Amino acid sequence: ETGVTQSPTHLIKTRGQQVTLRCSSQSGHNTVSWYQQALGQGPQFIFQYYREEENGRGNFPPRFSGLQFPNYSSELNVNALELDDSALYLCASSLDSSYYGYTFGSGTRLTVV
Amino acid sequence: GNSVTQMEGPVTLSEEAFLTINCTYTATGYPSLFWYVQYPGEGLQLLLKATKADDKGSNKGFEATYRKETTSFHLEKGSVQVSDSAVYFCALSDPNDYKLSFGAGTTVTVRA
């Protein structure tokens, strides 16, 4: 197993800018989800991709978007960054569904100034 | 909708003490239940899971039993070590849903 890897580990952006976060899923996992974890809180579901199609979305505005690629990598894009977007962004992968649990990456710490 | 409530922290213990973190849930279906652990500066690691009522998940000395009648999944460890210091998250996954719902997390600090 290769695990889930995310890049970069840390990032500082200015309000109004755009950012792309990257994730490489565990080999064989066809489902990837992204979560936002604000400081001192539990992760909040952003969206999920299954076989390159978005199949679920949490309570996040359209400026949060994503892509999943055939090689199991994925991206989270955030446009028009706001100060409240500062958080740890976690990528998680699984095979087919979340019923048996996800494998999480170490996350990208985004700071918006 | 689905939700998870876990006991608030922080919890501070001495080494070899007994640890319990309470977790209760609300779900519309028959969820799977999980405990994840987050060490400082790291992502989430799956600690244990249970997919049906009365199942007991266990790993690294931690245990939790899926109690459908009380909608609970309390985490226990009989003798904690300093290395168990971390934030613990209870979570559920409903088979009719596509996401994990997390509790707010409980910070545990174990002192030597």
pLDDT > 90? residue A72: no
Average pLDDT over residues A17-45: 92
Question: Using a CB cutoff of 8 Å and minimum separation of 24, what contacts does A45-49 make?
Answer: A45/B99, A45/B100, A45/B101, A46/A76, A48/A98, A48/B98, A48/B99, A49/A74
State the pLDDT confidence band at A71, using cuts at 50, 70 and 90.
confident
* Assigned token pair, B70: 């009380």
Q: Give the pLDDT score at A106.
A: 92
CA-based nearest distance A52→chain B, Å: 15
- Which of A52-56, B40-44, B95-99 shows the highest mean pLDDT? A52-56
pLDDT > 70? residue A2: no
What sign does the CA torsion over B72, A105, A56, A78 have? Answer: positive
Q: Flag if A48 and B32 touch (Cβ within 8 Å).
A: no
First to last CA, chain B: 41
Degrees (nearest 5) of the Cα angle B20, B23, B26? Answer: 170
* Assigned token pair, B20: 């319990």
pLDDT > 60? residue B34: yes
Q: Flag if A99 and B34 touch (Cβ within 8 Å).
A: no
Average pLDDT over residues A40-60: 91
